[in-house]
Amino acid sequence: MRIGELSRATGVAVPTIKYYVREGLLPAGRLTSPNQARYDDGHVRRLRLIRGLMDVGGLSVAAVREVLAAVDSPQEPVHKVLGAAQLAITPPPAVTPDGMEAARGKVAEIIRRRGWRVGGDNPAVETLAVALATFEGIGHGEFEEVVDDYAAACERVAEADLAWVGRNAEVDGLVESVVVGTVLGDAVLTAMRRLAHVDASARRYEQGDGGPAGATGTP
C-alpha cells in the first residue's frame, strides 16, 4: 500500500509516519520509484505498536526506540532476553529523596521475605525504594503495612503474565509479548486498581445504598 493508505489504515498522519521512519522506529517502505514507497501489513502492525507504547504506555520516542531494539534483537537464553526487554522499559528513578538507605533495606527485606530471585541491580528495586522513602518522608511510612498485599497481588499478575507470554511465544515473538504485556499491562493494572477502589469504597462506605441485591447480605 502507499503511505496515504498506511495513514488511513492506522489513523497516523503522513508527516508523523515519515518522522517515525527518520527516527528509526519504523522501517522504510520498499521504493518502487524515486518518490514512491510501498508499505505492507508489517508496517501497519508496527505503527499500531508504536502508538500503543506512546499513547497507552506513555513512552517517549527515545524509550520506544529502546523497546523496539529489544523486540527486534532476540537473543538466548529466554530469561536473559526478558531481563533485557524489561530493562529497556524500566528507566531508573530520576530522584533520590531522603531516607533512601533505610528504604533500600526495607526493599531488600521484602525481596527476602517473598523469596524473590531478583538481582539488587534491577532498576525496579531502586524505584520501589524511592516510592517507600517518599511515603516515609511525607509522614505515611505506615504504608509498609500493606506492601505484602501488593507483593502477593503482583505475584499473581506475574504468574498470569508469564503463562500468557509462554502461550503467545510461537505467535508473535516472545520479546514483543513481554514488552507489550509489561507496558500495556501497567495501564490495565492501574486502571483496574481505580475501579476496584471505587467498588471497595462503595462496599465499605455505602453498605446497602444502591448496591446490587445480595451485595450487603440483606434481602
Q: Which stretch binds a second copy (CB under 8 A): 13-21, 23-31, 59-67, 95-103?
A: 95-103
Return the C-alpha cell found at 24: 528509526
Considering the complex, state which of residue 29 and residue 89 has its C-beta at the smaller distance from a second copy: 89
Q: How far is the CB of 29 from a second copy (least distance, A)?
A: 19
d(CA 90, CA 76): 21
Q: How many CB atoms lie within 10 A of CB 185?
A: 17
Element (H, E) at 135: helix 123-137
Considering the complex, state which of residue 32 and residue 172 has its C-beta at the smaller distance from a second copy: 172
Binding of a second copy at residue 76 (CB under 8 A)? no
Q: How many CB atoms lie within 10 A of CB 85?
A: 26
* Dihedral (Cα; 167, 67, 181, 147), 10-degree rounding: 120
Burial of 133 (0-12, 13-18, 19+ CB in 10 A): buried
Contact call for residues 151 and 114 (beta carbons, < 8 A): yes
Return the C-alpha cell found at 80: 536473559
Contact with a second copy (CB under 8 A): which of 13, 94, 103, 170? Answer: 94
Binding of a second copy at residue 16 (CB under 8 A)? no
Binding of a second copy at residue 105 (CB under 8 A)? no
Q: How far is the CB of 14 from a second copy (least distance, A)?
A: 18
Residues 45-64 that bind a second copy (CB under 8 A): 45, 48-49, 51-52, 55-56, 58
Residues 114-173 that bind a second copy (CB under 8 A): 114-119, 122-125, 127-128, 130-132, 134-135, 137-140, 142-143, 145-147, 149-164, 166-168, 171-172
Site string for a second copy, 24-43 (x = CB under 8 A): --------------------
Residue type, 201: S
